Structure formats: structure tokens, C-alpha cells
Amino acid sequence: MKEKILVIVGPTAVGKTALGIELAKRFNGEIVSGDSQQVYKQLDIGTAKASLEEQAQAVHHLIDVREVDETYSAFDFVSEAKQAIQDICRRGKLPILVGGTGLYLQSLLEGYHLGGDLDQEELLAYRKELECLEDAILFDKIAELSIDIPQLNRRRAMRALELARFGKNMENTQDPYEALLIGLNDDRQLIYDRINQRVDHMITAGLLEESKWLYENYPEVQASRGIGYKELFPYFAGQVSLEEAIETLKQNTRRFAKRQLTWFRNRMSVNFYQISDPDMLDNIIQDIEEFLS
């Protein structure tokens, strides 16, 4: 029997952390972070990591599990998330995955075995290439390879093409979990306004100091390429003004949110809820209760 898990996804700044904590309280759950940047110690503000006060309200896993100069991949996430989920279930609690890194979450939920030799950047680039193709072209590629896919759709087509291309390094196994995917979304302008407000709050909370420390000590590491840090590096180098750097940060974050939504809509079976709906939480709780029963 497959373990049941909840998965909370959506664009940045939409309220995933708060919802995860609320659901953990209500359903005796523990949170597994599905974010590629929150694994790094000392990078708290730019990664929008749950605060110590928030972490005290619900047990969190896969936060602060890497030093800032270490690398982290989808292969690492799948391995460590499986261990966390197994531990949570063993103790009779409900695993709740919370995050916005679609590659990581999809790799875990769809049972991919990501071999250590698989180039994660190459995989991501290929997925972006497939996302740009119309359905008819995707389906033609499936026909050319003589791949038989029951109930063919866009998501299954892209999945099959990835498996065909990467072969043994991306072996598809049985879906390991029974998951309810909860997506948070709303009007695009509302999301963008929340993003702009979050960036302003981050600046007030000390993002400049955190980013400057990273710039001065670890400018070339994987963590420094994350949105929230790299946009401020030109300011520290004297190449742009602070206002220009902050505007670039807001713009890149908005674009990132759009890419996140595209991924979750096209590649994962997500049940979306509008955050401006006053009944959102009640609807989510009702759906979870039906799922768990």
C-alpha cells in the first residue's frame, strides 16, 4: 500500500510556508522542504526560509542540510526526501512536501531514479525545450519513437521523451506515493504585487547584508546563483545602483514565478486554489479529509 502524502506547490510568495504549517498542525504532519535553496545554512532571507518561530510550530526536514559551498541536486533531494518521508510515516505522522522546485518534486513523485551520472542542467534544459513545443509536435515525436502511451497527454509525452533520451540514467519506476497536490495561485497581478512586497521586506530584514557576505566569501558557489543573491552582486561590484539591482531582483522573481506556474500546470496533476478566495482553507481541508479517508 502506497504512503499518502500532501504536496503544496505554487509560485514564490504565494503563502506555501504558512499553509504547510497550518496543515501540519491540523493533520499531525511534518514538513519536508522541496526547495533547492533552503537546504543551505546561513542563507535565510534570500531563500525565504521558514523562520525559527515558524519552524517551532511544525517539524521541518531538508532545511539547513548543506554548507553554503556544497552542491545540491535533484538526485540528492530524491534520496534524502525519501528517507525523511519514511521516517515521518514510521512515526505515524503525515508527510507534507512544501516547495516550488518543480524538477525536484516531480522527480520524487513520479518515481524517477536519477542516476548520479545524469547531468541535471542538461535534463532541465531539455525539459524547457519540450515545454516550448506544441502538443501536436510532442505527439509526433512520440509516434516517431513508436512509444505506446495510454491516454496520451502533454505531461506523459514529455515524461516519455525524457526517459527515451536519458536512458539508464533516468529509469522510470512505479510511482512511490499516493499524493494530493495542492497548488496555490491567483490573479497574476496579485501574485506580482506580493512578490514586490516580499522583496521590499527582504531588503528591510537584511538581505543586503546576507548577499554581501555571500558575494565576498563564496561568489562562485552553486548557492550564489540563486534568485535573491545574484541580482545584487552587480551592485556590490559598483556596476549598477541599488535601485536598479532591486528592480532586477523583483523582475527576475516575477519571471521565476511564471516559470513555476508553467511547470506545475503542464507537468504535474495539481489541484489549484485561489488564495484570494475566503473559503480557500476550508476547501483545502475538506479535500484533504476526503483524500485521507
Bind-site residues for substrate: 12-17
Phi, psi values for residue 178, rounded to 5°: -100, 110
CA dist 39 and 216 (Å) reads 20
The x, y and z cell numbers of residue 61, run together, are 526536514
Paired strand residues for 98: 8, 33
Number of H helices, E strands in the chain: 12, 8
Residue list, annotated binding site for ATP: 10-17
Residue list, annotated binding site: 10-17
**Distance of CA 126 to CAs 13, 15, 98, 121, 173, Å?**
27, 30, 25, 9, 20
Is residue 272 helix, strand or coil? strand
Contact 46, 205 (CB under 8 A): no
